[in-house]
Amino acid sequence: MFTYNRKYLRGLILGSLAALPLFSQPAPPLRWDRDSLLAAALSSAPSRLSAESRALQAGALVKEARAARLPVLRFATDLTALAREESLTLEAGSFGSFTLPIPPYPTITLPQEDYKVTLMDTFRLDFKLTLEQPLWTWGRISESIRAAETGALAAELEVLKEESRIAARLDISLESLAFFEKMQEILNAQGEAAERLSVLSQESYESGFLLRSELYASRVAAAEVRLGLQSLEENRSRALLSLRTLTGLANLEAGDLILPSPSPEAPDGDPEALINQAALGNFDLRLLGLNREAARYQLGAERSRSYFKPDLGLYLQLNYRNPDLRFLSESLPHDNFLNLSATLGIRSLLFDGGAQSARIKREEENLAQASLSLEAALADLGEYIRGTLLELELSELRQDYIRLQIEEAKSRHEQAQNEAAAGYGEERESLIQELTWHLRRLSLLQEQLTARIRRIELAAIVNP
């Protein structure tokens, strides 16, 4: 009969339970597309986490500012112990004596015996409960709350701005890698043609049919292709390194990515429409606008602290004193043990050497600077949008020009191929035209990549 070993069975069960979390965790995608990379970047980017922390901090400041409207309740207690009891002794007859005019005419002494008066007990326990409630502050609390709320909105906007910046960086890296793949294909074909041209040139030079300068020209062409491949590999490594840093995926490789199609886009629209759109959605402009609002509220709060503007507040205090720690006494004296006091206080600044006036002036200048910064940023944004659109327009013209060059080089290459196939042309000439054709194609991809990056940056500014 087969029997279970209890220790073995228990170890097997515990081991299985310990392995469950490994199998229950969602596995990362086999290939990373743009959305999954963006999710990874937003969850691990230190810059975004820092912005989110600042937003939480700003939210705490809002709660602190709102709490200023509510009463403050405090409790305090203290225990006093004396080395000796503080007392006063009245000896018998301290107040003199007198004889009553009634038989048997007794003599009365005041006091008749020594009397001890306790001034302070050896132990004393005091309890104090206070309540403070501001009643009138000339709007200072309201202005401070509005300033804190504006700061919280700005902090939340900083998080969105950082997310937009991360998304733009991610798009630029992915688009660059997609274009680099196309360039890799062209450079590989160009390299094969350059190596073939170098071999043919060497053979023709050794046979005396080629000048030395033409031989070196073919070698330079092959070296340029190798240099281009190395430069492309460096740029690809930089783009991949940027993705790893951005997403926190240290083992990310190019083969793990689903890249977008490197297709050119149509030119953007009217500059004025884009400027108006950016004025409403651009994060920097919105942050500067919130900064101006916060400066206005801070100025209002400082003005409420100005001279001859008294604050009105209510102060309640409940005191309880327990001498000699008599908690359980059934007959506590009714005086000096429990006391309730209410105070209506008025406090106003009358003179401080001009410090408050200086603070108000400082906040006025902060508001003026915030307004000027917003105006300057709007002007700079308009200049950037117009300049970028002009650059993109010129890029479109350059792309059209390069396309014509590509068609020309392709036509010359096909003609040279046909002549070489017919026997009255040289293969070397066909290879030279092929190298020129590949070079023009690379130039077009480089121009398209530059324009694509400009459009990503423009979109992040105009419509983040």
Residue 74 pairs in a beta bridge with 130
What per-residue confidence (pLDDT) applies to 54? 94
Tell me, yes or no, whether 226 lies in a domain. Answer: yes
192 burial class (0-12, 13-18, 19+ CB within 10 angstroms)?
middle
Residue 104: cis peptide before it, omega within 30 degrees of 0: yes
Looking at per-residue pLDDT, the higher value among 428 and 264 belongs to: 428
Q: Does 94 reside within a domain?
A: no
Please give the model's pTM, rounded to 2 decimal places. Answer: 0.75
Task: Report whether pLDDT(314) > 60.
Answer: yes
In a domain, 77, yes or no: no
Complete DSSP assignment for 252-302: --GGGB-PPP---------HHHHHHHHHHH-HHHHHHHHHHHHHHHHHHHH
Per residue in 145-168, pLDDT (tens digit) is 999 999 999 999 999 999 999 999
DSSP H helical ranges for 137-211? 140-206
Stretch 344-360: mean pLDDT, rounded? 90
Q: How far is CA 352 from CA 197, 299, 360, in A?
A: 89, 19, 13
The pLDDT assigned to 20 comes to 38
pLDDT tier at 208, thresholds 50, 70, 90: confident
- Token pair recorded at residue 189: 């074909």
List the beta bridge partners of residue 73.
Answer: 131
Q: Over 90: is that where the pLDDT of 408 sits? A: yes
- The more confidently predicted of residues 173 and 86 is 173
Identify whether 101 is part of a domain. Answer: no
Examine residue 263 and state whether it is found in any structural domain, yes or no.
yes
Q: What is the CATH number of the domain that holds 365?
A: 1.20.1600.10
Q: For the chain, how many structural domains are there in total?
A: 1
Can you tell me the distance from the alpha carbon of 113 to that of 285, in angstroms, rounded to the nearest whole number? 90
Phi, psi of 315 (to 5 degrees): -130, 115
Rounded Cα distance between 289 and 30, Å, is 44
In the three-class reduction of DSSP (H, G, I as helix; E, B as strand; rest coil), residue 25 is classed as coil
| Full domain range(s) for residue 397 | 38-70+137-310+348-462
pLDDT tens per residue, range 231-286: 999 999 999 999 999 998 989 888 888 888 765 555 467 888 888 888 888 999 99
How many other C-beta atoms lie within 10 A of the C-beta of residue 187?
22
Highest mean pLDDT among 160-164, 203-207, 218-222: 160-164
Query: Does residue 329 lie within any of the structural domains?
Result: no
**To the nearest 10°, the Cα dihedral for 63, 65, 68, 73?**
40
Domain membership flag for residue 150? yes
Contact 161/45 with Cβ under 8 angstroms? no
Query: Which pLDDT does position 28 carry in this prediction?
Result: 56
Task: Please report, in angstroms and rounded to a whole number, the separation of the first and last CA atoms in the chain.
Answer: 73
- Please indicate whether residue 269 or residue 223 has the higher confidence score (pLDDT): 223
Residue 336 lies in a domain: no
